[in-house]
Every structure is written in C-alpha cells, then in structure tokens.
Structure 1
Amino acid sequence: MNAGDLGLVLIPLLAVAAPLLARGIRPVVRVPIIVFELVLGILAGPAVLGWVEPTGILEKLSDFGLALLFFVAGSEIDFRAVAGRPLARASIGWVISVVLGLVIGFALAPGEGMVVIAIALSSTALGTLMPILRDAKETDTPFGRAVTVIGATGEFLPLIAISLFLSTRTTPLATAVLLAFVVLAGLALFMAHRVPHGRLHDFVRATLHTSDQFGVRFVLLLVAALVGLSVMLDLDMLLGAFVAGAIWRIIMARAPKKDAEAMETKIEAIAFGFLVPIFFLYTGVNFDLEALVTSSSAMLMLPLFLGALLVLRGSTAQLSAPPGATAKDRTALGLLAATGLPIIVAVTAIGVDHDMIDTGTAAALVGAGMLSVLLFPLIGMLVRGDAARLVDPKLVRDIPQGEL
C-alpha cells in the first residue's frame, strides 16, 4: 500500500485520535481540537514521517470540508443582531487592518504579492472560532457576539478582496462579476426570507429519522449550487459556501425549534465529524515545512507575520469591544480576532499559483496562521475564561472552593 492509499486509512485514524488527545489533557487545560488536527497532519505528512501524501481524493475532501466550515459560519451568524453599528465598526477595523497589511506587504513583496499578504493578515477564522465559542458557552454573550461580528467581516470581506484584486480578470470586469454574484445572492436571500417554507419544513420533519434525509440532502444541494455559482463566475468558492449558510439560517428561522436543532446536529455531524477535520489534517499534511526551514528569510518572516496578525487584527478588534469590557475581555477579544488560517491557506495558494509570492513567503504566512490557531484561542480563552470553563467540571467540583 502506497502513502496515498495509506492516507485514506490514516486520516480517519488521526481524526479519531485528535479528540481523544484533546479530551486527555482537558483536566489540565482546554486545547482546541484543531491544534491536534494540525499537528497530527504535519507529523503524518511528508514533512516528518511521510505516512500520508497529498492526493486528489484527499484534496477534494479537504475542499468540501473548508466549504462546510464556511457554510456553518454563515449559518450561525445572526445578521440582525450584528447589523448597524457593530458591523460598521468591525468593517472599519478590517479596512484599517488591510491598509496596514499593505504597508507590511509592500516592504516584503512589492506588487501583487503585497495584496496577498495584506488579505492574509486582515483575516479572522470565524469558522474556526465558532466551535470554540460554542464549547465555552459564549455564543450569546456580548463578548461572543463581538467575536462573531469581527470574524464575519474578517472572513467575508477578504473573500470580496480576493475576488476583486486577485482575479484573473481586470478589476472593472471582476467588480462587475462580483456585483452580479451579489445580486443573485441577494435575490436568493430575499426569496429565502419571503417565500413560505411550511411545506419544506414539513418534508424535513417527515424525513428526519428516515433514509430519505431530505434536509441533509437539501443542504448539500444548497452548498453545491452556491459554490458552483461562485466557481462558474470565477469567484472564490468560499463566497458561495458562506452565503449558502446565511440562506439556510433564514430558511430554518421559522421552523419548529426541535426540528431546527435536529437539523443543526446532523449538519454538525457531517461537518465536524467528517469533512472539517479532513481540511485541518490535510492542511498539516500539505504544509511545506521544507520551504520554511530551508529559507532564512521565511524563518524571519514567520514571527513577523504572527506578530502582525496580533497587532493588526488584535488592535482593530478593540473598535468592536462591547460596552463595559474589561482589560481581560479586550485582551481575549484581540487574541481571538487575530486567529486566522482558512483564508490564509486560500489566498497563499492563489499567490503561489500566479507567482505573486514565493513558496517561502507562503509557508511563513500559513505557518503564522497555524501558530495563531494553535496559540491565540487557547491563550484568549485562558484570559477570558474561569476555572469552570478551563478544566473538567467534575474535577472542579472536587476541589475545595478556597483552592480555585
């Protein structure tokens, strides 16, 4: 069995090992499972042990996982809650981030390369943060809503920038194509909001526990249709996935709560139980460690990019801090806002494919993104959280109150 075939067995094995390792150290500290998926992918990949090689099948499954990650992010955002001033402030923060990122990019890679660097440094991995916020019971708190709106702008606006400035088309044509997509997506959102969904809800309910599973099939069709539209218009596929999630949220908004929760569980099972882990594991497998460690300039850029993520996104995130936020809240908010990886992976791949940046710069950016995922959410939730969120609740109950 070659390394490519072995990967089809080892990837599921590593996907099972990751939560076991995460649960194993949870009595000490809650480390996001993504940390283990990335590290295990690097260890099993060509960079270290060479047990898993990049293959076409794994790449496609990874792409599906990334699309579902953005779908789930789009489906979890309550746009009515973040519209208005929160969205405006987060958008201003993103614009400041990308302008400062252009300055850094110009110093390192003048030309189109600086746009790649700026977009990468202006991103926030909302899809990565949402499971962490959910596990910490923070999604409905002012802090969680602030992270959500920062993540929404830091995930959606970079996709717009990629479509406008890194497209193979001229900028005016790219703008026209993007506007066409916005019009079509807006029409779909309008229809989802206005058209009655009673029969759809009834059919979803009737097939929840049968082999028909219409709701799951409808979601997959929705994702495929919007992703296909994005690809057909030569836009980033993640735009379509994100919008598909927003449409699905609208469709299920008026469904019975029990049915909506059942569907959410099924979608999360497919996403976080199957495809999303493949994306993070494959990101580790595909990481060009050699390009990083053999280039002194890339090694120097890695901490620079990591620090730039923290400074650019962490400082501008303060514009979205909820009223009455403490210093700990602001620190945690900045750390979570500086967490970026999916957009960085996507934009650096475009940059390398079109010779905008070299492989060393791409490896340094992806490496910084991986370190941000490894470190920032963990430190942020340590700063933000209390003992009950950071250690096993059973152990907390066994500790005398004076020792907490």
Structure 2
Amino acid sequence: MSQYGVLILIMAIAVLAPLLAYGVGRWLPVPLVIFEILLGIVVGPDVLGWAHGGQTIDALSELGLAMLIFLAGYEIEFDKVRGDTLKRALRAWVVSLAFGLLLASALAGWSYTKGVYIGTALISTALGTVLPVLRDSGDLHSRFGSVMMAFGSVGEFGPIVAMALLLSGRSPIESAALLAAFALIIAGAVFWAMRPRPPWFSQVIAKTLHSSGQFAVRLVVLLLAVMLGASTALGVDMLLGAFAAGMVVRLVLHGAAPESAHEIVAKVEAMGFGFLVPIFFVVTGIEFDLAALLDGGRALLLLPVFLVLFLVVRGGPVYALAPRDLGPGDRKALTLFSSTALPLVVAISTIGVKAGVLRTDEASALVGAGMLSVLVFPLIGLKLRAGKGERALPKGPVAGAESW
C-alpha cells in the first residue's frame, strides 16, 4: 500500500476509534488512545498486514508526538502546582527516579542506557489521561484534584528532563551545561510571555480569531517550532522543547488574551487531536511487535512485571510522601492515578527502539503494560474515591481538562 493509502487508512481508524470509545464507554470507560493503538495493531504487519511505516508517515508521527507533549505542557496549571504539595511531589519523583533506574538497570542486565529508557518510562504519569477522569467524577477542583495535579505534573515533566540529562550521550557536565543553556532560553521565553502585551496584540487576536488570518494559532505553531528548533540546536531532546513550548504558550495566551485562550487552544487541540496525535498512536500500533509479545517468550513475561513496577516504582514513593491530610483511601487512589502511564511510555519506547537500545519486544511489553495501567488503575482509583467528588463539582466548565 502506498504512503497515501496508509494515511487514508490511519485517518479512517482515527474516525472509527472515537465511535468505539463512545459505544464501549456506556459500560466501561476505555481511553480513546487504547482503541487507536489496538486498531493500529490490527492493520499492522502482525495481523492484517495492510499498513507499514514509511518516510511520510514517520514524519507525521514525529509531529504528532511533538504536539502530544506540547499539549501536555500546556495543561500544567501553575497556580495549583506549588507549596508543600509540590515539594512532596518532587521528593516522591526523585525517589522514584533512583529506585526506577536501579531496578530497570538490573532488569536490563546492568545495561545503563537500556536501564535509563526503561527506568524513565516507569516513573512517568499520564496526567492527560487522568485529568478527564477526575473532571467527570467531580474531583478535579477538590483538594484531591490539586494534589493529583502537582504529583502528575512532576510525573510528566520529570522524565523528560531526566532523558535530556541521561540519554544525550555526553558527559554529565556537558549535558547539564546544555540543559542549563536551554533553561535560560525557556526563562527568556517565560519573561517575554509574562510581559504586558500592547493593545494591538489582543486586538489582532480578536479580529483574526474567526477569520482566515488565525494570528493566535499561527503564533502558537511558531512558538512550538522555535522551541523545537532551539532544543535540536542544543542537542536537547525535542520532547523537552515541545513541553516547554506548551508552558510558554499558556503564559502568553492567559496573559495577553485570557478571554480567548480557551477558544484558541481548542483550535490547536483540533489540529493536534484531530489529525497529528492520532497518527502517532495508530503508527505506534502498526509498529507494535505483537508476534514477539505473544510467542510465549521473555516479552510476555515482562508485561506483568512492568505493570507491577509502575505501581511499585512510581506509586510506592507517592503513597509514602502524599500529604498527611489525605485519608488512607485517597492516598491509595493517588497512588493508582500517579502510576497510570501510557503517552510518555509510548514516546520513550519509540525513541528507544529508533536509537537501537530497546528491542521491539521490550518496547511492546512496556507499551502493553502502559495500556493495562490506563485500563485498570483509574477504575480502581475511582472506586476508592466513590462519592467523594460530587461535593467538589465546579459550577462552570473546567479549563484545560481536555486531553489525550
């Protein structure tokens, strides 16, 4: 099949997946990404053999990954990620990092590089998957929701920084210097973003918001391209550039056009979730090594091991360092939600396979465990929180709750 034929097939899956998620959701809330990956597996080489990768599809998939991480960066609500809760979240993640790298390296036969890929995947949190669940249950604006926002934000940003430091192939000092240089670029961008904008800036946004000009949307794409370019030029992982772009864009929009920010981001999300992001997840399914996973070998044994490690490595420190005002049930729910991981697991596994460090069967076991975590952990967490979120339902729409 030609590359355009594969693209048509991928977009057909992108249309079918929400219909399946909606239909099944009446009985069981299954995240959309699960159907995108599963359908990609079905049309991929190991099942029907209809679709294969290629230069065009791979390029679109890379853009989808960048957009995915960009939107994750935009989700961070700075007013909710601070204080003692943030300190606890950071300490929990650092403990998870040390614990995860040690266990992953041992599991990988003491291979440092492979251990870093697996370890950083184990300590991520799928905040974008958890937020809509908390929104629907009425927990997002509760005390539990603010704690989850802090722990989840660190669980998304931390692995990206860790990859930039540990997987650059440079000495630790050189990596830290380049990361510091990129941090200065981010700081400069944040300083620019927080400066008051002249009146004409908001006027242009308002006048072109519903015209072919789309100034604000084009500015968002430009900022993403600039941060990706800066990260590439400095040799920093492009995921960090995409994530930083999302944070900068949030500051720009909420500072210059707060009344239009939600609508502008909705347009960007339409471009991302309507086109680019589904391509990334469907291609992940197409490249999923199902044969290696089901041959009864090491990969199949690794899948439940990784699932347990998500809970132990990421969830254990979260449970131990959760704020003391949370009751036992809430601490367990926080542990389960924080251990839910998939988007960054997919991204890290994809990068590891392309770098020749992870085998496709190992990546498939990681992604498979991530899929199970998304299916199982939030459902159990909701049962532990049953009835508690209704008291915290917001009166208006929840900003920034749309996600992966």
TM interval, short-chain normalised = 0.7 to 0.9
Q: Which moved more, 1:164-173 or 1:2-11?
A: 2-11
Note the 1:89-128 alignment, pairs <5 A. 89-109=88-108, 110-112=110-112, 113-128=114-129
Q: Distance in 2 between matches of 1:270 and 1:351?
A: 27
Aligned to 2:36: 37
Unpaired runs of at least 5, structure 1: 390-404
Deviations 1:304-342 (A, max 9, x none): 011100122222222564564344433332222112223
Contact 2:201 2:256 in 1 (8 A): no
Aligned to 1:316: 317
Aligned to 2:190: 189
Aligned AA for 1:116? Y
Q: Distance in 1 between matches of 2:379 and 2:56?
A: 32
Aligned to 1:351: 352
Q: Distance in 2 between matches of 1:116 and 1:367?
A: 16
1:64 aligned onto 2:63: yes
Q: Distance in 2 between matches of 1:359 and 1:76?
A: 31
1:284 aligned onto 2:285: yes
Q: How far 1:44 moved relative to its partner?
A: 1.8
Q: Which moved more, 1:255-264 or 1:36-45?
A: 255-264
1:365 aligned onto 2:366: yes
Task: From the superposition, tell whether residues 284 and 380 of structure 1 become closer, same or farther in structure 2 (CA, over 3 Å).
Answer: farther
* TM-score, reference length from structure 1: 0.88
* TM-score, reference length from structure 2: 0.88
Contact 1:124 1:155 in 2 (8 A): yes
Q: Secondary structure at the match of 1:156?
A: helix
Q: How far 1:179 moved relative to its partner?
A: 0.7
Aligned to 2:12: 13
Aligned AA for 1:179? A
Q: Secondary structure at the match of 1:287?
A: coil
Aligned AA for 2:111? G
Note the 1:108-187 alignment, pairs <5 A. 108-109=107-108, 110-112=110-112, 113-187=114-188
Deviations 1:248-276 (A, max 9, x none): 11112234543122212212212222222
Q: Secondary structure at the match of 1:253?
A: helix
Task: From the superposition, tell whether residues 73 and 349 of structure 1 become closer, same or farther in structure 2 (CA, over 3 Å).
Answer: closer
Deviations 1:37-89 (A, max 9, x none): 22212112222222221222222222222222222222221223212322211
Aligned AA for 2:153? A
Contact 1:39 1:284 in 2 (8 A): yes
Contact 2:17 2:32 in 1 (8 A): yes
Q: Distance in 2 between matches of 1:82 and 1:94?
A: 14
Q: How far 1:387 moved relative to its partner?
A: 12
Q: Secondary structure at the match of 1:184?
A: helix
Contact 1:69 1:127 in 2 (8 A): no
Q: Which moved more, 1:83-92 or 1:192-201?
A: 192-201
Q: How far 1:293 moved relative to its partner?
A: 2.6
Aligned to 2:343: 342
Q: Secondary structure at the match of 2:259?
A: helix
Identity %: 45
Contact 1:86 1:320 in 2 (8 A): no
Aligned AA for 2:84? R
Aligned AA for 2:43? A
Note the 1:266-281 alignment, pairs <5 A. 266-281=267-282
Q: Which moved more, 1:90-99 or 1:332-341?
A: 332-341
Q: Distance in 1 between matches of 2:136 and 2:52?
A: 32
Q: Distance in 2 between matches of 1:317 and 1:156?
A: 16
Q: Distance in 2 between matches of 1:157 and 1:100?
A: 14
Q: Distance in 2 between matches of 1:35 and 1:328?
A: 27
Note the 1:226-245 alignment, pairs <5 A. 226-245=227-246
Q: Which moved more, 1:337-346 or 1:228-237?
A: 337-346
Aligned AA for 2:164? S
Deviations 1:174-217 (A, max 9, x none): 11111100111111111211242543222111101101111111
Aligned to 1:252: 253
Aligned AA for 1:21? L
Q: Secondary structure at the match of 1:218?
A: helix
Q: Distance in 1 between matches of 2:244 and 2:255?
A: 19
Aligned to 2:23: 24
Task: From the superposition, tell whether residues 88 and 324 of structure 1 become closer, same or farther in structure 2 (CA, over 3 Å).
Answer: closer
Aligned to 2:397: none
Aligned AA for 2:244? V
Q: How far 1:386 moved relative to its partner?
A: 5.2
Q: How far 1:18 moved relative to its partner?
A: 1.3
Task: From the superposition, tell whether residues 254 and 163 of structure 1 become closer, same or farther in structure 2 (CA, over 3 Å).
Answer: closer
Aligned to 1:397: none
Q: Distance in 2 between matches of 1:3 and 1:374?
A: 34
Q: Which moved more, 1:251-260 or 1:69-78?
A: 251-260
Q: How far 1:134 moved relative to its partner?
A: 4.2
